[in-house]
Amino acid sequence: MKRNYGIDLLRIMLMFMIVMLHILGDGGVLEAARPLSVNYNVAWLIESFAYCAVNGYALITGYVYFEAKYKLSSLVTLWLQTLVYSAGIMAFAWLMKPELFFVDDLLDACFPISRGTYWYLSAYVGLFFLIPFLNAAIRTIPEQRMKKMLLILLAVFSVYTTICGGDPFTLNGGYSVIWLVLLYIVGACIKKYEWGTQFLPGKALGFYTAAIGVSWLIKIGIESLGMRMSGTLWNGNILISYTSPTMTLAAVFLLLAFKKMRLSDKAAKLVGVFSPAAFGVYLIHKQEYVSGHFIRGRFAAFTQQNVIMMVFGVVVAAVIVFVICILIDRIRYQVFRFLKISKRLEKLDGIIY
Cα–Cα dist 216/81, whole Å: 36
Judge whether residue 1 has pLDDT over 60. no
Q: Residue 61 falls within a domain, yes or no?
A: yes
Work out the pLDDT band at 181, boundaries 50, 70, 90.
very high
Work out the pLDDT band at 105, boundaries 50, 70, 90.
confident
Q: Residue 317 falls within a domain, yes or no?
A: no
Q: Residue 164 falls within a domain, yes or no?
A: yes
- Per-residue model confidence (pLDDT) at position 350: 74
Q: Residue 318 falls within a domain, yes or no?
A: no
Q: Residue 319 falls within a domain, yes or no?
A: no
Q: Residue 38 falls within a domain, yes or no?
A: yes
For the stretch 36-63, what's the b/e string if a residue is b when 16 or more beta carbons lie within 10 angstroms of its beta carbon? eeebbbbbbbbbbbbbbbbbbbbbbbbb
* DSSP-assigned letters across all residues of 89-125: HHHHHHHH-GGG--HHHHHHHH-TTTTTSSHHHHHHH
pLDDT in tens, 139-177: 999 999 999 999 999 999 999 999 998 899 989 999 999
**Which of the two residues, 76 and 108, has the higher pLDDT score?**
76
Cα–Cα dist 65/191, whole Å: 10
Mean pLDDT over 215-231 rounds to 95
Cα–Cα dist 230/284, whole Å: 43
Work out the pLDDT band at 344, boundaries 50, 70, 90.
confident
- Per-residue model confidence (pLDDT) at position 97: 77
Judge whether residue 100 has pLDDT over 80. no
- Per-residue model confidence (pLDDT) at position 166: 83
Whether the Cβ atoms of residue 46 and residue 303 lie closer than 8 Å to each other: no
Rounded to two decimals, the pTM is 0.95
- Per-residue model confidence (pLDDT) at position 2: 74
Q: Please, is 133 exposed, middle or buried when counting C-beta atoms within 10 Å of its C-beta (0-12, 13-18, 19+)?
A: exposed
Q: Residue 321 falls within a domain, yes or no?
A: no
Cα–Cα dist 277/254, whole Å: 21
Judge whether residue 8 has pLDDT over 60. yes
Instruction: Kindly report the average pLDDT of the chain as a whole number.
Output: 93
Domain that holds residue 44: 5-312+326-352
Cα–Cα dist 246/185, whole Å: 18
> Sign of dihedral through CA atoms 322, 327, 329, 330?
positive
- C-alpha torsion 303→57→142→162, nearest 10: -30
pLDDT in tens, 254-285: 999 999 998 999 999 999 999 999 999 999 99
Q: Per the structure, how many domains does the chain have?
A: 1
